[in-house]
Amino acid sequence: MMMMLNLKYVGVLLPVALLLGVAFVYLNSFYRLKEGFYDSSTGRFVDENLIGSPDLHLVAPDGLKYPQPSIMHGRTDIVSVTPWLAPIVWEGTFNPVILDSIYQKKNISIAATVFAVGKYIMFLKNFLETAEEHFFVGFRVNVYVFTDRPKEVPEVKMAAGRELIVRSVPSSKRWQEISARRMELIQTLIEETLLNNVDYIFCLDVDSKFHSRWGTESLGGLVAVIHPGYYQDNRNKFPYERRPSSRAYLASGEGDFYYCGGAFGGLLMEVHQLARTCRKNFEDDAKENIEAAWQEESHLNRYMWTNKPSKVLSPEYLWQDFKPRNPEIHTVRFSGVIKNYAEIRPN
Ligand code: UD2
How many Å lie between the centroid of ligand 1 and the Cα of residue 262? 7
Query: Is 328 known to be catalytic?
Result: no
pLDDT at 82 over 50: yes
The more confident residue out of 10 and 307 is 307
Name the packing angle between helices 175-189 and 295-306 (round to 10°).
Answer: 50
Check 91, 270, 297, 316 and give the catalytic one. Answer: 297
Q: Is 179 in the pocket of ligand 1 (CB under 6 A)?
A: yes
Q: Is 315 in the pocket of ligand 1 (CB under 6 A)?
A: no
- List of residues 6+ apart from 84 with CB closer than 8 A: 308
- What backbone torsions phi and psi does residue 292 show, to the nearest 5 degrees? -60, 155
Q: Which of 205, 300, 321, 345 to probe ligand 1 with, by most ligand atoms within 8 A of CB?
A: 205
Q: Is 207 in the pocket of ligand 1 (CB under 6 A)?
A: yes
Checking DSSP bridges between strand 109-116 and strand 140-147, what pairing results, if any? parallel
Nearest to 216 by CA among 280, 137, 288, 269: 137
Q: CA–CA separation, 341 vs 347, rounded Å?
A: 9
pLDDT tens digits, residue range 119-148?
A: 999 999 999 999 999 999 999 999 999 999
pLDDT at 32 over 50: no
pLDDT tens digits, residue range 232-253?
A: 999 999 999 999 999 999 999 9
The reported pTM is 0.87
pLDDT at 45 over 80: no
pLDDT at 49 over 60: no
Q: Is 127 in the pocket of ligand 1 (CB under 6 A)?
A: no
Of the listed ranges 29-33, 100-104, 111-115, 301-305, the least confidently predicted one is 29-33
**3-state secondary structure labels for all residues of the chain:** CHHHHHHHHHHHHHHHHHHHHHHHHHHHHHHHHHCEEEECCCCEEEEHHHHHCCCCCCCCCCCCCCCCCCCCCCCCCCCCECCCCCEEECCCCCCHHHHHHHHHHHCCEEEEEEEECHHHHHHHHHHHHHHHHHECCCCEEEEEEEECCHHHCCCCCCCCCEEEEEEECCCCCCHHHHHHHHHHHHHHHHHHHHCCCCCEEEEECCCEEECCCECHHHCCCEEEEECCCCCCCCHHHCCCECCCCCCCECCCCCCCCCEEEEEEEEEHHHHHHHHHHHHHHHHHHHHCCCCCCCHHHHHHHHHHHHCCCCEEECHHHCEECCCCCCCCCCCCCEEECCCCHHHHCCC
Per-chain mean pLDDT for the chain = 90
